[in-house]
Amino acid sequence: MSSDQQELFALPTEYRDLQAEARDLAVSCADLAPRADEADSLDVGIRKRLQASGLARVVVPARFGGRYERVDSLAVTLVREQLAAESSHLDSLFAMQGIGSYGIAVGGSEELQREWLPRVANLGTIAALGLTEPHVGSDLKALTTTVVERDGKLVVNGHKSFITNGGDADFYCILAREGHGYSLVLVPADTPGLSTQRPHQIIAPHVLGDVILEDVEVPIGNRIGEKGKGFGLVLVTLATFRVSVAGAAVGMAEAALREAVRHANSREQFGVNLSRLGSVPEHLASSWADIEMARSLTYRAAAAAARDARGNLHLSSMAKVGATEMAARVIDRAVQIMGRFGLVRGGKLERLYREARPMRIYEGSTEVILDSLAKQLIRDQH
């Protein structure tokens, strides 16, 4: 076997170095994670450490202060795998800088890009994307938020709900109905008429808020891309970042398995080590195999998305479903192995258990993604 063949399924050195860099950041935030992961607003300490690391530059193109010429889905996925293993708050802050600003990076005017993206890259500005509404979730085309041109301005009206970074973001990229299409509009958080509320919190606390827009006026230049073409910008954002959710899920599952192995190796029951008792060895081995299978698909999908995000959305979708469902199984097994110790409030495994559940819903629920994949499979067979 040649050296090239031996490296066929190995990450190139630059990506392994990035992994190590992200792992170092995650470990450095371990002392803050229990507090930050229970917070409903941005943790100042986590923000400062992410800012000092420079890793937020991974989610912005190089010409605006980023690290890569264009956002690299594999790089984003590898970073999220490491960060999510330690802190969901850290992972979310990193990911949302990209998700909230990517529409600007690929569709915004030069003026918008130069005004906002360098500050996203250095974490001087917090980004958010406004899609979901109180009565609109997966069916985004049913949204009711509107934008119209009036007196040389764009006027936005609507209510966005369950928005990550809602209340703490410095700007929101809002998807709104405009005429017969949908436009993406950048609305700074301090614009008159924009207000935020925090009526909801989820089982794994999250920086989450509702954004209310009442006759909010912004310059026409704040429309991102062409009038009525904003839906395409949202789709390319999801295509680029969806696979990174799979990376985060793999990281969380591996963290849970480490906790389970540590516990099983240190505890004795019925005169034998727990790691050799009953079904425990099978649970451990099955979890390891599940993680490695999910990781393989995730890396493949992320590399494909880096080449052509829209063209390989099916792989990203498969990875997202496979890895998040896998994480739920592995973390549940870990709780079972640790028994009452896995249920202790405030413990790392208990945090992971709660944090894994929303991943099967946000950025495309399992059922919605599987329905889309089935339609594509059937269509492609004709």
pLDDT of residue 261: 92
Average pLDDT over residues 70-85: 98
pLDDT of residue 271: 60
CA 272 → CA 18, 266, 277, distances in Å? 41, 11, 7
Note the Cα 60 to chain centre separation in Å.
15
* Res. 275 pLDDT band, cuts 50 70 90: low
Does the structure show a pLDDT above 80 at 1?
Answer: no
pLDDT of residue 273: 75
pLDDT of residue 277: 67
pLDDT of residue 376: 94
pLDDT of residue 55: 98
Token code pair at residue 147: 């934008």
Inter-residue contact 127 to 97 (CB < 8 Å): yes
- Say how far apart CA 325 and CA 328 lie, in whole Å: 5
- Say how far apart CA 123 and CA 96 lie, in whole Å: 11
* DSSP one-letter string for 341-360: GGS-TTSHHHHHHHHHGGGG
Inter-residue contact 341 to 268 (CB < 8 Å): no
- Say how far apart CA 288 and CA 55 lie, in whole Å: 28
pLDDT tens for 243-274 read 999 999 999 999 999 999 998 887 767 666 76
pLDDT tens for 276-332 read 766 888 999 999 999 999 999 999 999 999 999 999 999 999 999 999 999 999 999
Average pLDDT over residues 177-203: 96
pTM of the model: 0.94
Mean pLDDT rounded to a whole number for the chain: 94
